[in-house]
Amino acid sequence: MLVLVVGPSGAGKDTLLDGAREHLRADPRFHFARRDITRPPTPGGEAHTPVDPATFAATRYALSWHAHGFSYGIRADIEDELAAGHVVVASVSRGVIADAAVRYPVLVLEITAPPEVLASRLAARAREPEADIAARLARNISLPAGIAVERVMNDGTIAASVAKVVAVLSRAAESARPG
């Protein structure tokens, strides 16, 4: 099963995925996909694989998209992990969910937080002007219909929210078991 992790900026997706990855590191049922992104690493940001545009264009991706002036991709080797029966966890854009659902068994894990928490986290990053933050928060992007969605509200402690993510992933692994 492919677990597609989505959610608004500031929801804490990377923090919770890092915690879940650490918690599940010894469990062979799980594979956490690393994204290729055509941007350099940023301190305190997502641990991704930085690639130049030429490398990105020459690489085979299972899923790819463009956003905020960058290209993002999940390498095609996840197909080997899926074929081996593993639960593959990948942080993606909502825009690739429908395409992924046609090609793979998917579960969407939406990580979110209340609007005031998102606004506070985005402001604390100091990466964009207040007007851009407001526009980001005003966007209402819906998920495709007919696809299984689990939602984690990241409004408590990191440990509590990581436990919620681990519970969702554990249920996914149990439901993906043959027999």
Supply the pLDDT for residue 140: 63
Can you read off the two tokens belonging to residue 85?
Answer: 């029966």
Can you read off the two tokens belonging to residue 163?
Answer: 């436990």
Instruction: Calculate what percentage of the chain has a pLDDT beyond 70.
Output: 85
Helix (H, G, I), strand (E, B) or coil at 87: strand
Supply the pLDDT for residue 162: 97
Q: CA 121, CA 118: separation in Å to the nearest integer? A: 5
Instruction: Report domain extents, the chain.
Output: 2-33+86-176
Supply the pLDDT for residue 115: 80
Supply the pLDDT for residue 134: 64
pLDDT < 50 positions in the chain? 179
Which among 47, 31, 20, 36 has a CA at the least distance from the CA of 80? 31
Assess if CATH 3.40.50.300 describes domain 2-33+86-176: yes
Q: What is the pLDDT of residues 121-153, one digit of tens each?
A: 776 766 666 766 566 666 666 777 788 899 999
pTM of the predicted model, to two decimals? 0.86
Strands (DSSP E) found in 9-69: 30-32, 35-37, 49-50, 61-67
Query: 149 vs 131, 135, 159, 165, 175, CA distance in Å?
Result: 31, 25, 22, 13, 14
67: left (phi over 0), alpha (psi -120 to 50) or beta: beta
